[in-house]
Amino acid sequence: MTKRAQNVSYLVLFLLTIATLVACQEEPVKPLPILGNYDLSYRTKDGKQIIDTIYQTIPDFQFYNEDSILVNKASFKNKVWISEFFFATCPSICPIMNTQLKNVEKALKSYSKDLQFLSFTIDPTHDTPSVLKAHKQKLGIQNKNWAFLSGNEAFTHQLGIEHFLIFAGREEEALGGYAHSGAFTLVDKKGRVRGVYEVVQPDLSINTKEYQRLIKEAKQLFQGYMAEGTGLKARILRF
């Protein structure tokens, strides 16, 4: 083989290698939406006006967990949250929600170091910390990154509706005297809601598409943090 032919062969091999690497890269997808209200902030830099978007975040809160320890928003900082609103005596949708959230926990077990599950009771008069502890034990939940929280009832309902973007409240005609959504909420490390997933439907059926969407988008969020942590170009990958 002549030197010229050899150089051409090397060039072809190089181009094929580059093409293979590009083909193997996963295509970027759109970042998850940031849900809720937002404000616009205006500032000037180098003579140019810059508009910053200030997104709604979960406000500070105080609740007692199942161990009677007073916790707040900072207690779960630098974590991705997945939340539910329920009550321990709920005779219908809540047991199904608890079971589905356990399935979510298993599916995301590899991310447990950076993941926090929050179960807010909407009936704190009955659901004292000791009741919630017994409820957690009954469900067989042993991991430390799952907190069952009890606090002011009116504030809890407001927190669910206005910030976690699910319905929760008293309703005398409902079974157990309370009504709430069968949805789970995904919150990022900055306290912003990134998704609401109606996994358990009003007829108590399971919406598998919503369940799968929750798993996929939670993983997508974690992949983004992993990319940032390793110094890679910030982008979310499809997986």
**Contact at 8 Å (CB) between 204 and 93?**
yes
CATH superfamily, domain 53-229, is Glutaredoxin (3.40.30.10)
Task: Taking the CA atoms of 154, 157, 56 and 70 in sequence, report the sign of the dihedral they define.
Answer: positive
The pTM for the full model equals 0.82
* pLDDT, tens digit, 9 for 90 and up, residues 9-22: 544 444 444 444 44
Q: How far apart are CA 203 and CA 123, in angstroms?
A: 22
* pLDDT, tens digit, 9 for 90 and up, residues 126-179: 999 999 999 999 999 998 999 999 999 999 999 999 999 999 888 888 777 888
| 92 against 229, higher pLDDT | 92
**Contact at 8 Å (CB) between 219 and 228?**
no
pLDDT of residue 4: 53
Q: How far apart are CA 122 and CA 114, in angstroms?
A: 26
Confidence class for position 1, pLDDT limits 50, 70, 90:
low
| Helix runs in the chain, H state only | 3-24, 93-107, 129-138, 153-158, 208-229
* pLDDT, tens digit, 9 for 90 and up, residues 172-212: 887 778 888 999 999 999 999 999 999 999 999 999 999 99
The residues, any chain, with a CB within 8 Å of residue 224's CB and separated by 6 or more, are: 31, 234, 235, 236
Q: How far apart are CA 83 and CA 74, in angstroms?
A: 16
Sheet holding 193-197, edge to edge: 146-149, 115-121, 80-86, 184-187, 193-197
pLDDT of residue 46: 81
**Contact at 8 Å (CB) between 204 and 96?**
yes
| Helix runs in 82-188, H state only | 93-107, 129-138, 153-158
The residues, any chain, with a CB within 8 Å of residue 3's CB and separated by 6 or more, are: none
